[in-house]
C-alpha cells in the first residue's frame, strides 16, 4: 500500500515530518517498508507550451520546437518524441535543470541545430511508466490544456510529495485505504479525523429507468449496492485526481474509471462501473458460475469459469467476475451515456480462490481477499457519485438498490483491565484503556466487569479479548512495555539417542571414503521387475501416489538399495567405475485398515570397483569381504556385540551363494551380499556390486555405547595360531564366537587367516586357522597362562563341533 503524505494530511491535520510519521506508524504495528521522496533530485522544470514544430533540416527523426514557459523569451528545443503537437502543454527542463538519475541539462547542438532545454517524459521526472496514460508511457508527458505556464512541475504533478510504502499483515485490510491509514494516524497523534464528503444531491430524472438486483448466493455476496448515474461525459479526470492516483501507483484512464479507483484507494471499497444500456433488462444477478461457463473479460481474454466462482450476470449471461475483473461486453466506453455503479461485499475466501485459479490479481481482489467493511458499501457508492457530479461528468439519479441479505451484526467484547495488566505487565488505568480504544473508533462502555467494546465494521479481524489487548498495546506503545526476563524451566537442547547414532554412522562411513546420497522416496514399480522379485513378494505391495508427477515416481519405495544402484548406474555411464555410496532414509510398507503406511528407517550401502590401498599404493577390491569388513567395523563403532553372518539363499536381488543375514544375538537387523548377475545386467553395471541394507531402528535397539578411545597398553601381548579341522558346513563365525566365549577377558582379538580344503584334509571337512591375541592391562602374560586359555578353547571346540587340532 502506497500512502501519499500530502493526500493523508487532508484527512488528519498533522505537522510531523514524514520520517517521524513512518516511525510512529511502525511502532504502532503498521510497518513502513520504505519512504520515497518524489522529485528530490529534480529542479528547474516548468510547464511550457509548444508554439511551433518544424522538421529538423539534417535529421528525419528529429523535430525543432519553439516553446514558451510564459515569459518573453522563446526556447528552441530539439526532440525526437513522436507524440508532441503544436499547442501541447508539456514539462520543460530549462538549461541548468536537474532530472532523475543526476542528469543535468546543458545547452547543446543536435545535428547542427542548437537546443536549449529538453521536453520531459514522465519517466525522466521519476514517474512510473505503468501509472502514465498508454500514449505517454514512453513519450513526452502531455499536461491538461488549461495548465498555467511557468509553474514548477514538481508541485503541479505531485513531485513535491513523499510516499510511505506500507507492508501490511494479512489481518489489516482496513489499512489498504487512505482513510484507513488516516484513522490510524488520527489515533496515534490524537488528532481529529476528517472524513470525505459523501452526501449526494440527485439531479437526474430516473422516470422510466429501473434496476433489479438478485443475490442467489448470500453467503458469497452479503451486500450489493447499485447506483444509477445519467448523462455521463467520458473525458480525462482532473489533474489533482490523476496526481493522487499516480501517487498510489494507479494509472489514470478516464474520469469514470479514475473515480472508481480513487474511491477504492480512499475508502478501501472496490467499485465497478457498468454501461447501463448494455445490461439486459437492467437486471443484475449475483450467482455462482456454471462449470465450464465462459466469458470475455476486460483484457479481451476468454475465461473458463467453475462452479466455485462468483459472477455478476444479466439474463443473457456473465458481465463480470465478482471482485476480480469486469466483462468486455459491459465495458464503459466513450459512447456510454448512463452507468450503473456497483459497490458490493464478496466473500474473501471465494475471491482469493477465483483470483488464483484465473491467474488474475488486481487492486480490487487484493482488498476483497483481506476483507472490506460491509457497512461501507453504500457510502462508497455515494462518494463516487458525488465526485462524478462535482466534476461535471455525470448527473446522479435517485435510483439506488441496496440488496442487503446478511447485515452486519455488531460484536461486543468484554475487556477486563486486570487481563490487560496480566498480558502486558502494565498498570494502565481503565479510563486510559477506554480512551485509547475510543481513539481507534471503537465504541466503549463501562461495565461492572470491565469495558464493553463494540467492534466497528472496518475491523473484522477483531474477535477476541486478546485482540483488543493487542490494540491497547500498540497504541499505548510497545516500546513502553518494560523489559523482563522470561520465567520458566529451561531445557537445554540435545540430540536423542537415535539422532546421535545416525550422526555417528554418517561420520564413520563418510570418514571411511563413502559418499552419502539422498535418493527419491518415489520409485517406478518396474524396479521390482529389475530385481526379479516373485509376483507375490511382500515387497511389491506398495503405497501408490494419488497424483504422481510421472510413472517413474508413482509408488513409495519398499527397499532402499535400488536407489543406490541408480546412483552407481548414473556414475558408470559417466565413466566413474569405482564408487562407494550410502544412504540413511526411510522405506514405506502399507498397513491394513490404516491410512498411513509403516515408515522404517533404513541404512544401505553399495560398493563397486576398487579403492586405493595403503602405503604401497596397491588397490583393494571393494567386494563382499571389503564391505563386510566395513559393516563389522561400523557395528563395532556403535557398540554392537555378538554379530553373526548366516548364509541365506532367497534375498531379493542378491546372489544366493554370496549373501548373508546380519544377526545380532537373536535379532536379524539386515542383509549383506553381492548383487545377482541378472540384476547387475539389468542395471547395465559392468563390475560386480556388493550391498548391505540394515534396519536402522533394529540396529538402534541392539547398539550399545559407542566405541571409546583408550590408552595404548603398557604391557606386550602374546600371539598364538590355532588351526582346527571341522565339517565344511560349520561357519567360521560360529567357531569365532565359541573361541571368545571359552576364553577369558585376556583374549583381545580373534582373526581368521586361512581356510584350507584339499588332500591333507578328509573329504567333507575343512581346516580353519585363527590368529589369537592375548593381553593383560596390568602385567606381562606367562606361557602357562596362555596355554591354559588355549586348552579351554580347544576343549570347547571339541565338545561343540568335534573339532580336532590340525597337526
Instruction: Give CA–CA dist 271/346, Å, rounded.
Output: 12
Instruction: Give CA–CA dist 699/670, Å, rounded.
Output: 9
Paired sense of beta strands 162-167 and 317-321, if any: unpaired
Instruction: Give CA–CA dist 565/607, Å, rounded.
Output: 10
Q: Are 579 and 620 in contact (CB under 8 A)?
A: no
Residue 368 DSSP symbol: H
Phi, psi angles (nearest 5°) of residue 121: -90, 165
Paired sense of beta strands 667-675 and 325-326, if any: unpaired
Paired sense of beta strands 339-346 and 310-314, if any: unpaired
Strand partners, 674: 690
Residue 594 assigned ligand-binding role: no
Question: Cell for 107?
Answer: 545547452
Q: Are 119 and 67 in contact (CB under 8 A)?
A: yes
Q: Helix, strand, or coil here: 248?
A: coil
Question: Cell for 102?
Answer: 543526476
Nearest Cα residue to 665 out of 643, 685, 694, 646: 643
Residue 382 assigned ligand-binding role: no
Residue 100 DSSP symbol: G
Q: Helix, strand, or coil here: 286?
A: strand
Phi, psi angles (nearest 5°) of residue 116: -115, 65
Q: Helix, strand, or coil here: 278?
A: helix
DSSP string of 681-696?
A: HHTT-SS-EEEEEEEH
- Alpha-carbon torsion, ordered 668, 669, 672, 677, to 10 deg: 80
| CA count, 13 A, side-chain hemisphere, 581 | 22
Residues in the chain: 807
| H or E, element range at 466 | helix 465-476
Residue 470 assigned ligand-binding role: yes
Q: Are 363 and 250 in contact (CB under 8 A)?
A: yes
Residue 152 assigned ligand-binding role: no
- Return binding residues: 461, 467, 470-471
- Return binding residues for Mg(2+): 461, 467, 470-471
Amino acid at each position: 500500500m502506497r500512502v501519499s503524505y500530502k493526500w493523508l494530511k487532508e484527512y488528519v491535520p498533522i505537522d510531523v515530518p514524514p520520517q517521524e510519521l513512518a516511525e510512529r506508524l511502525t511502532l504502532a504495528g503498521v510497518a513502513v517498508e520504505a519512504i520515497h521522496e518524489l522529485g528530490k533530485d529534480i529542479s528547474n522544470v516548468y510547464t511550457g507550451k509548444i508554439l511551433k514544430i518544424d522538421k529538423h533540416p539534417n535529421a528525419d527523426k528529429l523535430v525543432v520546437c519553439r516553446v514558451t514557459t510564459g515569459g518573453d523569451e522563446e526556447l528552441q528545443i530539439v526532440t525526437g518524441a513522436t507524440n508532441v503537437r503544436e499547442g501541447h502543454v508539456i514539462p520543460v527542463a530549462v538549461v541548468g535543470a536537474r532530472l532523475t538519475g543526476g542528469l543535468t541539462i546543458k545547452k547543446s547542438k543536435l545535428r547542427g541545430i542548437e537546443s536549449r532545454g529538453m521536453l520531459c517524459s514522465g519517466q525522466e521526472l521519476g514517474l512510473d511508466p505503468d501509472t502514465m496514460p498508454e500514449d505517454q508511457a514512453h513519450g513526452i508527458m502531455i499536461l491538461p490544456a488549461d495548465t498555467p505556464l511557468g509553474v514548477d512541475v514538481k508541485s503541479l504533478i505531485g513531485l513535491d510529495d513523499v510516499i510511505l510504502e506500507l507492508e501490511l499483515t494479512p489481518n489489516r485490510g482496513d489499512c489498504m485505504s487512505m482513510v484507513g491509514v488516516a484513522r490510524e494516524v488520527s489515533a496515534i497523534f490524537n488528532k481529529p479525523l476528517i472524513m470525505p464528503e459523501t452526501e449526494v444531491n440527485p439531479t437526474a430524472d430516473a422516470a422510466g429507468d429501473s434496476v433489479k438486483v438478485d443475490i442467489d448466493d448470500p453467503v458469497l455476496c452479503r451486500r450489493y449496492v447499485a447506483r444509477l448515474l445519467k448523462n455521463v461525459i467520458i473525458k480525462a479526470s482532473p489533474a489533482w485526481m490523476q496526481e493522487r492516483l499516480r501517487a498510489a501507483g494507479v494509472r489514470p484512464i478516464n474520469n469514470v474509471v479514475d473515480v472508481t479507483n480513487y474511491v477504492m484507494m480512499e475508502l478501501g471499497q472496490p467499485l465497478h462501473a457498468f454501461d447501463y444500456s448494455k445490461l439486459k433488462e437492467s437486471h443484475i444477478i449475483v450467482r455462482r458460475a456454471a462449470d465450464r461457463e465462459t466469458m470475455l473479460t476486460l483484457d479481451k481474454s476468454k475465461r473458463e469459469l467453475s462452479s466455485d466462482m462468483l459472477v455478476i450476470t444479466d439474463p443473457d449471461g456473465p458481465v463480470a467476475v465478482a471482485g476480480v475483473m469486469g466483462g468486455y461486453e459491459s465495458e464503459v466506453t466513450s459512447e456510454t451515456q448512463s452507468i450503473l455503479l456497483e459497490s458490493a461485499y464478496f466473500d474473501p475466501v471465494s475471491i482469493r480462490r477465483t483470483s488464483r485459479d484465473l491467474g488474475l490479481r488486481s487492486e480490487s481482489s487484493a482488498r476483497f481477499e483481506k476483507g472490506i467493511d460491509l457497512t461501507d458499501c453504500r457510502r462508497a457508492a455515494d462518494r463516487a457519485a458525488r465526485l462524478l457530479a462535482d466534476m461535471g461528468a455525470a448527473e446522479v439519479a435517485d435510483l439506488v438498490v441496496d440488496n442487503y441479505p446478511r447485515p452486519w451484526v455488531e460484536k461486543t467484547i468484554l475487556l477486563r483491565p486486570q487481563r490487560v495488566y496480566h498480558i502486558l505487565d502494565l498498570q494502565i488505568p481503565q479510563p486510559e484503556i477506554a480512551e485509547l480504544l475510543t481513539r481507534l473508533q471503537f465504541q466503549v462502555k463501562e461495565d461492572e466487569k470491565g469495558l464493553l467494546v463494540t467492534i466497528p465494521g472496518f475491523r473484522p479481524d477483531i474477535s477476541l479479548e486478546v485482540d483488543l489487548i493487542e490494540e491497547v498495546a500498540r497504541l499505548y506503545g510497545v516500546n513502553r512495555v518494560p523489559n523482563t526476563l522470561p520465567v520458566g524451566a529451561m531445557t537445554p537442547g540435545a540430540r536423542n539417542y537415535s539422532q546421535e547414532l545416525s550422526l555417528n554412522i554418517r561420520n564413520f562411513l563418510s570418514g571411511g571414503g563413502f559418499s552419502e546420497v539422498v535418493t527419491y522416496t518415489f520409485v517406478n514399480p518396474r524396479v521390482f521387475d529389475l530385481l526379479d522379485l516373485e509376483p507375490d513378494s511382500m515387497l511389491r505391495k506398495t503405497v501408490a501416489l494419488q497424483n504422481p508427477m510421472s510413472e517413474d515416481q508413482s509408488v513409495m519405495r519398499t527397499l532402499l538399495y535400488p536407489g543406490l544402484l541408480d546412483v552407481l548406474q548414473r556414475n558408470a555411464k559417466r565413466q566413474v567405475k569405482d564408487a562407494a555410496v550410502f544412504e540413511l532414509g526411510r522405506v514405506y510398507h502399507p498397513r491394513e485398515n490404516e491410512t498411513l503406511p509403516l515408515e522404517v528407517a533404513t541404512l544401505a550401502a553399495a560398493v563397486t570397483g576398487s579403492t586405493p590401498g595403503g602405503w604401497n599404493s596397491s588397490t583393494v577390491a571393494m567386494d563382499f569381504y571389503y564391505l563386510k569388513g566395513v559393516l563389522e567395523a561400523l557395528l563395532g563403532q556403535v557398540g554392537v556385540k555378538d554379530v553373526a553372518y548366516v548364509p541365506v539363499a532367497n534375498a531379493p536381488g542378491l546372489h544366493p551363494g554370496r549373501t548373508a543375514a546380519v544377526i545380532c544375538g537373536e535379532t536379524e537387523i539386515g542383509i549383506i551380499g553381492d548383487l545377482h548377475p541378472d540384476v547387475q545386467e539389468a542395471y547395465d553395471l559392468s563390475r560386480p556390486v556388493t550391498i548391505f541394507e540394515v534396519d536402522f531402528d533394529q540396529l538402534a535397539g541392539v547398539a550399545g555405547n559407542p566405541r571409546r578411545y583408550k590408552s595404548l597398553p603398557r604391557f606386550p601381548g602374546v600371539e598364538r595360531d590355532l588351526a582346527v579341522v571341522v565339517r565344511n558346513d560349520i561357519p567360521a563365525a560360529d567357531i569365532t564366537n565359541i573361541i571368545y566365549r571359552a576364553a577369558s577377558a585376556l583374549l583381545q582379538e580373534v582373526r581368521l587367516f586361512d581356510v584350507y580344503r584339499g588332500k591333507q584334509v578328509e573329504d567333507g571337512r575343512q581346516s580353519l586357522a585363527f590368529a589369537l591375541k592375548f593381553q593383560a592391562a596390568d602385567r606381562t602374560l606367562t606361557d602357562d597362562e596362555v596355554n591354559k586359555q588355549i586348552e579351554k578353547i580347544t576343549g570347547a571346540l571339541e565338545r561343540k563341533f568335534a573339532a580336532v587340532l590340525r597337526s
